[in-house]
Amino acid sequence: MVDFSVIALGIIKTILNILSVSWWILLPLGLFFIWREFWVWGLNRLWKRKIQWVLLEIQIPRNILKTPKAMENVFSALHALYMRDIGFEDIYFKGEELYWFTCELVGYAGGVHFYIRCPAGFRNLVESVIYSEYPDAEIVEAEDYTELMPSVLPNDVYDLWGNDFILAQPNPYPIKTYEFFEANVDEQRLDPVAAITEVMSRLKEGEAIWLQILIRPVSSDWKKEGEELRDKIMERKKEKEPSWLNALVDGMVQFLKNLSLAATQHPVWSEGDKKDEKFKMFHLSPGEQNILKGIDNKISKLGFEAAMRFIYIDRRDSFTPSNIAAVNGAIRQWNTLDMNSFRSIRETMTFITSRKLTAESWFRKEKLFYRKRLIYDLYKLRWFPLKFSILNTEELATIFHFPLITVEAPLLSRIDTKRGEPPSNLPIS
């Protein structure tokens, strides 16, 4: 009978013997990788702190008749932030990464506000593309509204709920976009932002809802994932090109065959097997065909790495969980069961089960405090979470755009008059 304990003990002794003679190689190698991570992390933090940021508030006009298509054009122009890929030297010697910006929808008891935070060097780009689509809007530099709250939350007076959202399915699957909500008649046209602005307009004194969309333009390489997914659904097989060795062997075989039969028939040279490609397209259900159309439409437009961050702040003695549910419900209107939806990032969600028989509930109070501090600090810094998704310009315009005239949120901040430009021939002396 085999004694497995003796075998296991022998394996352990062998491993220890190997480590005893090779530790001087393995230990420095392991320490190198740890040092590399800290080196890149430290350089990146220094690089981020050198960036000059500007927070712009967009004061929207009262009569907006344009659909979110106008905001899609804005995001397409803002893709100009992408200039080149980040290389080895940029990462390991400069700590750089691609520039990003945030679109922020903020609600207090005093009103609902729209902000865009971008590097100061791109302020002219942001202002020009917004004015090109919304000439009646006004853009002003604003003070950081996060400074109105205590520097450390939660505390003895205020509590918060926070969460980061990314796509639940692979990136090529689209969410429900603004085209689904549109209608030819203005009175029947729905605005997907209306549900969120309505919740923000009903906040009491001391409450705040912050919604932040972090976006960073990327190259078109992400399209490959969508093309592969589309081909898989259609059962389209991509034939591999034969190697030069296989081509040489095939050519020699054909030459010898034709040489042996030259006395009886003309030589025949193969041009490769041309197989008729059979697609699954004609056997797909209407729902599956819509999925294919949705994937094709998404990968045809410019893409951004994106994540959405939501924070609700209120006094401890009057904390209102129903406002959290209302915002989560408004976010779900962009979800579909057959394509894509938003899901919470578990590591940043400020919820931990209270069931005592699970290991997750151990040190529950300390874990909750850490997560709340973390997401509050990340929101103020406007830093990306570790996980993010890819949204195209149409999806971003669905999530963040200026409400139509039909949205009647009572505290939605709008301007009644347009600031005019002075005449070109106005004397200055």
The pLDDT tens digits of the residues spanning 221-260 come to 899 998 888 888 877 655 556 666 677 777 777 767 776 6
Q: State yes or no: pLDDT of 353 exceeds 80.
A: no
**pLDDT tier at 208, thresholds 50, 70, 90:** very high
Residue 372 is predicted with a pLDDT of 94
Check whether 215 has a pLDDT greater than 50. Answer: yes
Chain-wide mean pLDDT for the chain? 83
pLDDT at 274: 47
Residue 217, pLDDT score: 94
Specify the higher pLDDT residue, 7 or 193: 193
pLDDT mean over 170-190: 76
pLDDT band, residue 126 (cuts 50/70/90): very high
**Residue 28 pLDDT level (bands cut at 50, 70, 90):** confident
| Mean pLDDT of the region 106-115 | 89
pLDDT band per the 50, 70, 90 thresholds, residue 415 = low
- pLDDT of 278 > 70? The answer is no
Confidence of residue 316 (pLDDT cuts 50, 70, 90): very high
Mean pLDDT of 354-368: 78
pLDDT score at 61: 78
Q: What is the pLDDT of residue 77?
A: 93
Three-state SS annotation for the chain? CCCHHHHHHHHHHHHHHHHHHHHHHHHHHHHHHHHHHHHHHHHHHHHHHHCCEEEEEEEEECCCCCCCHHHHHHHHHHHHHCCCCCCHHHHHHHCCCCCCEEEEEEEECCEEEEEEEEEHHHHHHHHHHHHHHCCCCEEEECCCHHHHCCCCCCCCCEEEEEEEEEECCCCCCCCCCHHHHCCCCHHHCCCCCHHHHHHHCCCCCCCEEEEEEEEEECCHHHHHHHHHHHHHHCCCCCCCCCCHHHHHHHHHHHHHHHHHCCCCCCCCCCCCCCCCCCCCHHHCCHHHHHHHHHHHHHHCCCEEEEEEEEEEEEEHHHCCHHHHHHHHHHHHCCCCCCCCCEEECCCCCCCCCCCCCCHHHCCHHHHHHHHHHHHHHHHHHCCCCCCCEEEEHHHHHHHCCCCCCCCCCCCECEECCCCCCCCCCCCCC
Q: What is the pLDDT of residue 3?
A: 64
- pLDDT on residue 276: 47
Say whether pLDDT at 400 is over 90. Answer: yes
Q: What is the pLDDT averaged over residues 162-185? A: 86
Inform me whether the pLDDT recorded for 280 exceeds 90: no
pLDDT at 167 over 60: yes
Percent with pLDDT over 90 in the chain:
40
pLDDT of 419 higher than 60: no
What integer is the mean pLDDT of 326-350? 91
pLDDT band at residue 184 using 50, 70 and 90 as cut-offs: low
